[in-house]
């Protein structure tokens, strides 16, 4: 009898613990998505019935007249931002209040591979960002470009072989192989040869990195809501030894010094050899109210984590964006002809060879790629976390430290309020003569502000080079039975993935 009473008391206590915050938005007069005990507002993503981006899209449309919409991540209050001016506040104007992404709720128990620029917070993030930013200058990018050209030429050869056999080509798989080879060369200094080797180790690493099934969904949920008791759960534990061993081996081969390849490991070794990083702290304040100083050392494990995120971020985002752009070109032949005409014209001025300067001249190709990213951004939303009590002056709305913020990138980019006829594929939207800054804070495929994607220009250049290499030699058209509207995998994850590939004829 006593046991039953204790069990009942535990269940009742757990219930009230789980629902204790569920009046948070009601108290503040904010319209919100009704939560369920334990699950919060997003049951479908947890059980892989719908992606988080898709669910945000529903919420975005449900409240068209609201600037913000409340919801709950498990037990944690969260806020969906629908207004561009509020987006600007979160990402730029009041960045000091929202400098955390909040993707890893337990900074003291963060997994080794997640100790990278994308996931880490506070002083460690600022230190890494400060030291790594010079690695992505125009000069560094230009020096790395010959490595991109080599992979783009292999992409042409692979596609030519397939075209001779009149095979249907999965654009998603093709561009994933190209991107994997690019990252192998530019990130690790290795010839991965994923374009020709069906069982390439790097290709397998890419698949493993973005493997997200029910197990990963529940790990994400439990670590998000109960970080301390579930600290032992690992999302990427299966990859740690593989990545750390690989990076350590490359460092030893180079005698822990830059090799002259101008790849990402060389750039990180340069950063490491400069010694500890000293910054103005985001987190520590002196008694007089001024920021303290913080010192961070770029250890071998931190270096390996940065190489890993270079692989992970570049692999999935670039391959999905380029393949989606090819999909749209296959269904919009008039745009395809304009792109090919520009590529031919530019290459004729550069001895018919791809180069950094040639790709920089392909303006219409860049508009086309940006239009693809508008319709299908790899990151369907941006995540931020409030670091101190904050009031949105436009709303007279105060939120507490720890409140999560979501910016629904895909919803903003397909809102007819900002992009007329948003389902139409029209690259001319990105002609500066047409938009005159109209896309500010509603077009965010790379984010914005201090935590915008550090590799934006590199990702853009390697994507454009790959597209130019293909479209200078081949047409694209839909394969028999290919779908006009692509399905998205219902993953509770940051990066969007197409279900079933993108079959095209070339």
> What is the C-alpha to C-alpha distance for residues 292 and 275, in angstroms, rounded to an integer?
20
Is residue 106 within 8 A of residue 227, CB to CB? The reply is yes
> What is the C-alpha to C-alpha distance for residues 99 and 436, in angstroms, rounded to an integer?
29
So what's the pLDDT on residue 38? 72
Residue 374 in this model has a pLDDT that exceeds 90: yes
> What is the C-alpha to C-alpha distance for residues 447 and 164, in angstroms, rounded to an integer?
41
The one-character DSSP state at 294 is E
Residue 361 in this model has a pLDDT that exceeds 80: yes
Task: Give per-residue pLDDT as tens, 30-77.
Answer: 999 998 887 788 777 767 678 889 999 999 999 999 999 999 988 889
Strands (E) in 175-303, as ranges, are 277-285, 291-296
For 377-400, what is the mean pLDDT? 95
| Residue 129 burial (C-beta neighbours within 10 Å; 0-12, 13-18, 19+) | middle
So what's the pLDDT on residue 239? 72
Is residue 461 within 8 A of residue 356, CB to CB? The reply is yes
Tokens of 458: 């590199």
Task: Give per-residue pLDDT as tens, 282-312.
Answer: 888 888 878 888 888 888 888 888 888 887 7
Is residue 175 within 8 A of residue 326, CB to CB? The reply is yes
Tokens of 204: 């397998």
Closest CA to 342 of 367, 370, 364, 357: 364
Residue 463 in this model has a pLDDT that exceeds 70: yes
Contact partners, residue 28, CB within 8 Å, separation at least 6: 70, 397, 398, 399
Task: Pick the more confident residue, 503 or 233.
Answer: 503
In the block, tokens 């979501």 appear at 406
Contacts by residues 361-365 (CB-CB < 8 Å, ≥ 24 positions apart): 362/464, 362/468, 364/338, 364/339, 364/427, 365/339, 365/464, 365/467, 365/468, 365/471
Closest CA to 409 of 82, 118, 51, 65: 82
Percent of the chain with pLDDT over 90: 38
3-state secondary structure (DSSP) of residue 108: helix
CATH code that applies to domain 2-505: 1.10.630.10
So what's the pLDDT on residue 270? 85
H/E run at residue 490: none
Helices (H), ranges, 63-168: 84-88, 122-132, 138-164
In the block, tokens 């080079």 appear at 465
Alpha-carbon Rg for the chain, nearest whole angstrom, is: 24
For 323-349, what is the mean pLDDT? 96
Residue 253 in this model has a pLDDT that exceeds 90: no
Is residue 71 within 8 A of residue 24, CB to CB? The reply is no
> What is the C-alpha to C-alpha distance for residues 169 and 162, in angstroms, rounded to an integer?
7
Quote the mean pLDDT of the chain. Answer: 84
Domain residue ranges of the chain, discontinuous segments joined by +? 2-505
So what's the pLDDT on residue 202? 61
């Amino acid at each position: 009898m006593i046991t039953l009473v204790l069990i009942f008391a535990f269940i009742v206590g757990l219930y009230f613990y789980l629902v204790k915050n569920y009046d948070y938005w009601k108290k503040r007069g904010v319209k919100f998505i009704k939560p369920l005990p334990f699950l919060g507002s997003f049951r479908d993503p947890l059980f892989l019935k719908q992606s988080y981006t898709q669910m945000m899209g529903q919420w975005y449309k449900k409240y068209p007249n609201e600037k913000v919409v409340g919801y709950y991540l498990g037990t944690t209050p969260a806020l969906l931002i629908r207004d561009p001016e509020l987006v600007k506040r979160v990402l730029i104007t009041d960045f000091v209040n929202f400098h955390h992404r909040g993707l890893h709720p337990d900074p003291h128990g963060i997994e080794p591979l997640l100790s990278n620029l994308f996931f880490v917070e506070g002083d460690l993030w600022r230190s890494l960002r400060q030291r790594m930013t010079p690695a992505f200058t125009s000069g560094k990018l230009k020096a790395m470009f010959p490595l991109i050209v080599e992979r783009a030429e292999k992409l042409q050869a692979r596609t030519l072989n397939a075209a001779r056999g009149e095979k249907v080509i999965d654009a998603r798989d093709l561009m994933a192989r190209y991107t994997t080879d690019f990252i192998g060369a530019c990130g690790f200094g290795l010839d991965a040869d994923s374009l020709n080797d069906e069982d390439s180790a790097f290709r397998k690493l890419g698949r493993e990195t973005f493997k997200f099934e029910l197990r990963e969904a529940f790990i994400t949920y439990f670590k998000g809501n109960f970080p301390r008791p579930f600290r032992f759960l690992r999302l990427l534990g299966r990859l740690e030894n593989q990545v750390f061993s690989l990076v350590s081996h490359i460092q030893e081969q180079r005698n822990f010094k830059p090799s002259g390849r101008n790849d990402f490991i060389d750039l990180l070794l340069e950063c490491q050899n400069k010694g500890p990083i000293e910054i103005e702290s985001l987190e520590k304040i002196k008694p007089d109210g001024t920021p303290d100083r913080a010192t961070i050392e770029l250890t071998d494990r931190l270096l390996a984590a940065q190489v890993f995120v270079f692989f992970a971020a570049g692999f999935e985002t670039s391959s999905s964006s380029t393949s989606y752009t090819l999909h749209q070109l296959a269904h919009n032949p008039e745009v395809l002809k304009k792109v090919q005409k520009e590529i031919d014209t530019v290459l004729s001025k550069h001895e018919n060879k791809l180069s950094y300067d040639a790709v920089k001249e392909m303006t219409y190709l860049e508009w086309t790629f940006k239009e693809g990213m508008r319709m299908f951004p790899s990151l369907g939303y941006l995540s931020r976390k409030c670091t101190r009590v904050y009031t949105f002056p436009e709303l007279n709305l105060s939120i507490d430290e720890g409140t999560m913020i979501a910016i629904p990138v895909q919803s903003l980019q397909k809102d007819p309020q900002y992009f007329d006829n948003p389902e139409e594929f029209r690259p001319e939207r990105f002609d500066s003569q047409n938009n005159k800054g109209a896309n500010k804070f509603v077009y965010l495929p790379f984010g914005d502000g201090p935590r915008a994607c550090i590799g934006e220009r590199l990702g853009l250049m390697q994507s454009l080079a790959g597209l130019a290499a293909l479209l200078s030699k081949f047409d694209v058209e839909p394969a028999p039975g290919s779908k006009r509207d692509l399905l998205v995998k219902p993953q509770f994850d940051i990066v969007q993935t197409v279900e079933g590939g993108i079959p095209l004829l070339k």
